[in-house]
Amino acid sequence: MAIEIEHKYLVKNDSFKSLADSAVDIRQGYLNRDPARTVRVRTKGDRGFITVKGSTSGDTRVEYEYPVPYGDAIAMLRLCDGTVIEKRRYLVPYHGKTWEIDEFTGSLQGLVVAEIELESSGESYDIPPFVGREVTGDPRYYNSCLDASILCDSFH
Catalytic residue set: 30
What is the maximum span of the chain, computed from C-alpha positions, in angstroms?
Answer: 41
C-alpha–C-alpha distance, residues 24 and 26, integer Å: 6
Q: Please say whether the beta carbons of 5 and 117 come within 8 A.
A: yes
- Residues with Cβ within 8 Å of 51's Cβ and at least 6 positions away in sequence, in order, are 39, 40, 41, 42, 63, 64, 65, 66
Burial (CB count within 10 angstroms: exposed 0-12, middle 13-18, buried 19+), residue 67: exposed
Distance (Å) of CA 100 to CA 51, 89, 103: 17, 6, 10
